[in-house]
Chain A
Amino acid sequence: DTEVTQTPKHLVMGMTNKKSLKCEQHMGHRAMYWYKQKAKKPPELMFVYSYEKLSINESVPSRFSPECPNSSLLNLHLHALQPEDSALYLCASSQEGLSTLYNEQFFGPGTRLTVL
């Protein structure tokens, strides 16, 4: 299995809702990432988990809360989002963490989030 899966594919939520995005990989990778991508822009790194521990938080607002229950699974909990948070949220994984030389990232298909 060489893919990263993400659910749901699309999500529409109100500003008072609580929802979660899910990412899964079964490649034995020990690092997982959340990126946010606005239309016609490159992805922006949000969080990095390495060996199930949060290693990087790129000053992301607390309305985004990541969780790594195990080495295969990464969640992003959403609460009280704003319309400007509407974007494509991409998950990625790599064999080892950022400090390792061989660090090809494999991306998932993304979740298209719309905040009303």
Chain B
Amino acid sequence: KNEVEQSPQNLTAQEGEFITINCSYSVGISALHWLQQHPGGGIVSLFMLSSGKKKHGRLIATINIQEKHSSLHITASHPRDSAVYICAVRGDTGKLIFGQGTTLQVKP
């Protein structure tokens, strides 16, 4: 079992839909990151969380430390949101432990 599990693995949505991607982890962490990677591209850091909730534009990230769970929400989704979304946690060593990623496709 991976230390960081994301669901779903693949997600197709219609433009305008509300999207949720989930991340569960099994290790103690100091922070959780949500990252975005467009096809063939580099990685962009969306959020770094250690508690509560953060919002940036149409993106919202929440974390529940007790339940070891985080969610990334996208409101009013758009085709340009199509990308791979990666959850990564920072464990005891400080290294990032990555989830397998969620591939999102938003259709017009």
Contact = CB atoms under 8 A, between A and B. Distances in A.
Interface of A: 6, 40-43, 45, 56, 88, 90, 92, 97-101, 103-110, 112
12 contacts: A40-B101, A41-B100, A42-B99, A45-B95, A98-B93, A100-B94, A104-B33, A105-B45, A105-B96, A106-B45, A107-B44, A110-B42
B43 A90 contact: yes
Nearest to B101: A42
Given A90-B42, A108-B42, A110-B41, A103 B101 contact: no
* Dominant SS among interface residues on chain B: strand
* Dominant SS among interface residues on chain A: loop
B40 A42 contact: no
B95 A98 contact: yes
* Across the A-B interface, the 4 shortest Cβ-Cβ residue pairs: A98-B94, A42-B98, A109-B42, A107-B43
Interface in B26-68: 30-31, 33, 35, 40-45, 48
Given A42-B86, A42-B100, A104-B33, A99 B94 contact: yes
Given A101-B30, A104-B31, A108-B42, 6 more contacts: A42-B98, A45-B96, A103-B31, A103-B94, A107-B42, A110-B41
A43 B45 contact: no
A6 B42 CA distance: 10
